[in-house]
Amino acid sequence: QVTLKESGPVLVKPTETLTLTCTVSGFSLNTATMGVSWIRQPPGKALEWLAHIFSNDEKTYKKSLKRRLTISKDTSKSQVVLTMTDMDPVDTATYYCARINFVEPNFFDPWGQGTLVTVSS
């Protein structure tokens, strides 16, 4: 059974750096056709893809957030880490990680349960 689980702080202050960890099980981060994405959802709003990383360490970021995001993986720990710098209250959201196919068709499945991050002083 493939599962993903997000972990990280519940509350961060404006200007701080957010670090989130996605721990996966049921598949390897070395699997050639698979990767992990981060997606967020502000309260009551739509989903927004942020970044993904594949087994060959290929990384892609949402263009408008690229300067603030870094995605990395630790295959031995089955973890994918997302950092987002210079946090702002508008970054308050539930952050999800999800598995993504590297080959077509690309889709997100399954998803982690999500972790709500609030940005406030």
Residues engaged in binding other proteins (CB under 8 A): 37, 46-49, 52, 60, 62-63, 96, 98, 104-114
Give whichever of 46 and 90 is closer to other proteins, judged by the CB atom: 46
Provide the minimum distance between the beta carbon of 16 and other proteins in the complex, in angstroms, as a whole number: 25
Please give the backbone phi and psi of residue 47, each rounded to the nearest 5 degrees, phi first: -80, 145
Give the whole-angstrom CA distance, residue 102 versus residue 48.
19
Provide the minimum distance between the beta carbon of 22 and other proteins in the complex, in angstroms, as a whole number: 12
Provide the minimum distance between the beta carbon of 100 and other proteins in the complex, in angstroms, as a whole number: 8
